[in-house]
Amino acid sequence: MRLGVPKEPDNETRVAIVPSSLKKLMKAGFEVFVEKGAGISANYSDEEYTNAGASVVSRKEVLGCKNIICINFPGVEGIAENTNLACVADPFRNPDYVKECLTAKITLMSMDMIPRRLSRAQSMDVNSSQDNLAGYKAVLLGAANVPKGIPMMTTSAGTVRPAKVVVMGSGVAGLQAIATAKRLGAVVYASDVRKSAAEQIESVGGRFIEVDGMDDFEDESGYAKPLTPEFIQKVNDTVCGVAKDADIIITTARIFGRPAPITVPSSAVSEFKSGAVIVDMNADVGGNCEDTKAGEIITTDNGVIIVGTSNLPGTIANTASMLYSNNLTTFITSLVDDGNVVLSDDDDILFGAPEDSDFYVNGMGGVLICIDGNMHEKQTRLMGAIE
């Protein structure tokens, strides 16, 4: 089995497979081909790949492999029919990627579609591994840009009060942001639309921002129900009120397959104190702050600094690549049966759970989007709009 690892685009510092993963891949029967220079920006040299057993070759040779693993969708040019392509395609935001694969008869597996509530999927969950790092780095960027110290300090020259950090959202990224800010010595406040999230927030050192009516938006499984526009506005107003005197505000709200919701409108930014830093973790999909500019760090007229750094995991490329590589290595080796990559209809990782389950309600229908130019019958309902 030939497995190719292409070099990512110039704006991507990560690499999909790192040298430490090669032993497991080769044990499973893969012969690994890595494009020359693929790991350089993540501090993995060609020599490390060669020493670990991979062949460092041209892009043409990599794209000629039967199985291709990467982070960003590489396009279909140079890829043969019936190739298995695993990447983060974000198919609902990029339906053209799916159409290209259908036309080129390429099997597309989009790793951002992993059904993360399956226990077996957790070690393959690229969303969680990369979000975790993004939450950590968001706090570091906030600390690097805020014009004051973070921890409380008692000195002969006076006492420095700890910084106040507000984290909007307590998913994987939010919880890591809370924990990181707490470790730096900040006083951390955090929000979520689920009242049950209070326990998680407090367990990592945060103080829960409660909004009246939260119990009305939690289902029996502990997940958030669909929110009314009125309640969303109520949450945003409450949290932005707490953030008025904050030093760092981290926004984490991301909706699967849709633009990021605005949680910090311009009107709120105008009331934040001068020197406050907003780190928008979703600048790449529209931004949670109305004033965010993707890929830029700007300062508003009232002195608020807005960090719109895109691809936060890519700013920690070495570690992010290692975790992504672990995820994908676990995934692809799980598909090997008798020396071949086998796509079984019974694999919930590939196809998701039955159509009446919460997987489909939440849009997580499995990573296998199309097979050799066809939408699989189990994916047709989920991806019908793309066809």
Identify the active-site residue in 44, 97, 112, 125.
Answer: 125
Across 2-90, the runs of DSSP E, i.e. the strands, are 2-5, 31-35, 55-57, 67-72, 84-88
Closest CA to 387 of 110, 98, 111, 112: 98
Enumerate the H helices of the chain as residue ranges: 22-27, 46-52, 59-63, 95-104, 126-145, 172-183, 197-203, 229-242, 266-269, 317-334, 348-351, 358-361, 377-383
Catalytic-residue membership of 20 = no
Token pair listed for 233 = 């506005």
CA atoms within 13 A on the CB side of 28: 22
Identify the active-site residue in 122, 310, 334, 357.
Answer: 122
Identify the active-site residue in 2, 116, 117, 207.
Answer: 116
Closest CA to 69 of 122, 105, 103, 22: 22
Catalytic-residue membership of 321 = no
Catalytic-residue membership of 161 = no
Catalytic-residue membership of 59 = no
Contacts 24+ apart (CB under 8 A), 74-80: 74/6, 75/100, 76/100, 76/101, 76/103, 76/104, 76/106, 79/104, 79/106
Identify the active-site residue in 128, 129, 170, 191.
Answer: 128
Identify the active-site residue in 20, 123, 223, 372.
Answer: 223
Catalytic-residue membership of 284 = no
Active site residues: 116, 122, 125, 128, 223
